[in-house]
Structure 1
């Protein structure tokens, strides 16, 4: 297996069009590159699928996907003559014992490690350290080891035993994406020695497809599931490791390691705090059936929700960084929800319908202008569900479940939309959003994000009442929002004008 640390270089032969060229692959994050050279002219962009396949000198097969290359190579002279060269930038490098092309439906499974996987899937009873092991316990283990090592081992007066219970599967769900599961994958030093022994666990999330798919389809599935895990963890996830599985030449499964040259990455903050397992809203270890059910239902409607969820993810991932753009994004995602998730249009009285239609006829007869288009657009929205109504509608199950814990939630939502409207359209704010920024904008943003994310989970089966009864260390945004709601509500109320006070 090749190493992919920054600066690692590997030479090999690479197929470009009808040519097989000498090249050097350098791993360096977003600067990862393939340097190709040949005494003969070649076209770096000869592969229409933007995939370059090759074999390194250690016989590792590599497939470089989504390559960016100049159409014409450079030329240079050496002591032995002239040669052509170019540098290719791939987005992904898949390496292992098989080659793969972008259009091939060969991927049976995709597996990845999310950066907060050990918090999301905190299976703390699967690994333990035996407290005060008895002489019989240590003697049994040592006797078995002596048979393998073929030598006697002396037992001291303070033995220690660390163990893994063997429980690998954490949960499994049959979903529209395929079979999704999370598993414990302990790694240990097989050979003991004076430096000691260890068992280190890595929790992988696996997707096994019903039928083989392309690499792009596998990657998209992994990213959707990662988006769900970000909601569960309360922050954006880095992909620490990524693999795909395909059938090899003898129908045996082959693993290809995926090197993502420029992956999505969480912004680091000096006060960054990892989520505590006790704050995770859905416990996959102690309630695997509930977790599987929520994930399954969440995925069932992703196709119609994906645009709104992508905006939520972009806003939610900013964590403790707030500005007006984030507030606007958090409000606008309600307009991107499918019709089934928001209230129906308002039923207008006949006289209002007549007035709207007459105005529309008058303005349509006028010459085209931005003002005319603006008025027609406004007339077209008459009777449509407003942004406030959509956000309030999403909050209904939350108010029903936690109304006493989150008083005036609907009024806070109205304030959030008013704030958004001011920063989008201008006008008379009646609230000093700049001078009282920290009393208004962060809390209003958190409210819109909490209502969106919590209601989405609730409709998938999340028990928010049971969650609200638990304590919190505030390492998850939902718990922090619940715990600090009263104080933030008072600060917001203080910033509002007298005639708009909440209490």
Structure 2
């Protein structure tokens, strides 16, 4: 939202109402309240409601203040500055603990590319007779038809797709805008919006979380970070609110370009698969949301590959829900007896970091390790491909070793030369996580993999560069076998 200043009357949680000025400028947004000679009773974390002098309703969520500023001249003057997490502007006001949101609408930077249908927007040269027939049929006046007419058109199809999911009805829609024409010509510009209609109204925090969940899903489809924009919340059919996020957000790095032929899901050409995966992805999201958001956080870094990223990429495989990992290891009676004996010995010792470390290791003895989890997720991908990626389990195992080197200090042969492959190894862990997740949601990877893949998605870029990267990594680790 553009910078703007709003003046009006604002009611604090204490019930006191004061004139104020709201400056909206991203993370620097601030509400200044002029209290005169009155010191408000409660300036702690609160929701503030206001009405502008033009009648616009305002809600500020999670407001905090550093305390009053008091000036003494002839009269005492008290002012308060409040900083909030979210600002809502529109035809109604929200009470976070009771107001229900019925629908949400937003867009991201790549949705027009992801859901573009050549049949919806196009340009054509037509004959003079065809142009005259169109003008006559539609009663269009003042058109000077030449010998070589051209038309730009929007087909009129607003709804791109519509699907019922566990969180409600979701649909994407075209929102074209057209210039009136002139000496510079004319233009049709389009933005694509995602809508969610909740089956039962949601409280504000739940509605915002649903929006972020969908933005995460859109990042999966696009292959790079999708930050929400132009967010609208609806209390009913007529009350619309614009959401302003005042929390400072990370910048969207370029992260490559988008090419629809490289995207794993296509709502236009493969709608059945698209609907199936979206529904299942959302069903699983309650259990998967933590590792998925770790994946999304990695994508924010785009072409930056640092230690934190490879550690995070490995950890998202380590914190997968129980059903996504191998079954518990079956210990032999001898191992089980040794485990219990050791536990008894260390349990009696005084508390110390060493004692806790050994007890923790004993507790994890029957649980699958990170290398086992990673190998299991690799097998899901290999089984889904007509021609499995050669040595993918080997590459993933080296990536885990690099992670263990940074986390535990566990060295291994040629570690210095291996660190040169940090981008490839990080991408491997992210690819394994994302591809195996989508496959379990119903993605037909074999159809995608047989396309002539380019560089228009993070997974297609990985596939294109895989043979060369594998060959160079094998030069460093020629004898490692799994």
TM-score tier (shorter) = over 0.9
Corresponding residue number in structure 2 for 1:290? 273
Determine the structure 1 residue equivalent to 2:423: 442
2:211 to 193, 200, 222: 222
Residue 38 of structure 1, aligned match among 20, 35, 40: 35
5+ residue gaps, structure 2, are none
Question: What is the DSSP-based 3-state SS (H/G/I as helix, E as strand, rest coil) of the residue aligned with 1:334?
Answer: helix
Q: Is the 8 A contact 1:280 1:476 kept in 2?
A: yes
Distance (Å, rounded) in 1 between the aligned partners of 2:209 and 2:41 = 28
Q: Which residue of 2 aligns with 1:18?
A: 15
Structure 1 residue 473 displacement after superposition: 2.3
Deviation, 1:47, is 7.6
Q: Distance in 2 between matches of 1:64 and 1:345?
A: 49
Deviation at 1:153, TM superposition (A): 4.3
Structure 2 residue 475 is matched with structure 1 residue 486: no
Counterparts in 2 of 1:54 and 1:44: CA distance versus 1, 3 Å:
farther
CA RMSD of aligned residues (A): 2.2
Q: Is the 8 A contact 1:169 1:183 kept in 2?
A: yes
Q: Tell me whether 1:58 sits opposite 2:54 in the alignment.
A: yes
Name the SS for the 1:337 alignment partner: coil
Aligned residue among 169, 189, 208 for 1:179: 169
Matches within 5 A, 1:154-169: 154-169=144-159
Distance (Å, rounded) in 1 between the aligned partners of 2:2 and 2:340? 66
Q: Secondary structure at the match of 2:192?
A: strand
* Residue in structure 1 matched with residue 448 of structure 2 by the alignment: 467
Match status 1:134 vs 2:128? yes
1:245 has 2:234 as partner: yes
Normalising by structure 1, report the TM-score.
0.90
2:345 maps to 1:351: no
Cα drift, residue 136 of structure 1: 3.6
Say if 2:357 is the partner of 1:361: no
Does structure 2 retain, via aligned residues, the 8 Å contact 1:142–1:153?
Answer: no
Q: Does 1:199 align with 2:184?
A: no
Q: Give CA-to-partner distance per residue, 1:260-293, whole Å, 9 cap, x none.
A: 1236444435xx5331222111001222232121
2:241 pairs with one of 244, 256, 275: 256
**Conserved 8 A contact 1:343-1:385:** yes
Aligned partner of 1:27 in structure 2 is: 24
Shift of 1:200: 1.4
Distance apart, 1:105 and its partner CA? 3.2
Query: Aligned partners of 1:136, 1:304: CA distance in 2, in Å?
Result: 57
Cα pair distance change 1:265/1:133, threshold 3 Å: farther
3-state SS of 2:65 partner: coil
Of 366, 377, 380, which residue of structure 2 is paired with 1:383? 366
Aligned to 2:81: 87
CA distance in 2, matches of 1:60, 1:175: 34
Is 1:305 aligned to residue 285 of structure 2?
no
- Within 5 Å, which residues of 2 pair with 1:231-242? 231-242=220-231
Report deviation, 1:310: 1.7
Residues in 2 aligned to 1:291 and 1:94: alpha-carbon distance in whole angstroms: 33
* CA 345–501 in structure 1, closer or farther in 2 if over 3 Å, else same: closer
After superposition, the C-alpha distances for 1:184-212 in whole angstroms (9 at most, x for unaligned) are: 111224x5555543321111111100111
- Structure 1 range deviating more: 180-189 or 199-208: 180-189
Cα gap change, 1:343/1:33 in structure 2, threshold over 3 Å: closer, same or farther? same
1:295-334 paired onto structure 2 within 5 Å: 295-334=278-317
Deviations 1:12-68 (A, max 9, x none): 1111232221111111110011111132314284586x2211111221111111212
SS at match of 1:205: strand
* Residues 300-342 of structure 1: per-residue CA shift (max 9 Å, x gap): 0111111121222222332221122211111111221111111
Work out whether 1:103 is the aligned partner of 2:93. no
What CA distance in whole angstroms lies between the structure 1 residues aligned with 2:164 and 2:156?
23
> Counterparts of 2:62 and 2:91 in 1: how far apart (Å)?
20
Q: Deviations over 1:113-141 (max 9, x none)?
A: 01111122122220111223433424533
Name the SS of the counterpart of 1:67 in structure 2. strand
Number of residue pairs aligned between Structure 1 and Structure 2: 481
SS in structure 2 at match of 1:382: coil
How far residue 401 of structure 1 moved from its aligned partner, in angstroms, is 2.9
For the Cα contact (< 8 Å) 2:100–2:235, is it kept in 1?
yes
Q: 1:239·1:263 contact (CA, 8 Å) conserved in 2?
A: no
Quick one: distance in 2 between partners of 1:423 and 1:451?
20
**Hey, what's the Cα distance between the residues in 2 that align with 1:52 and 1:208?**
27
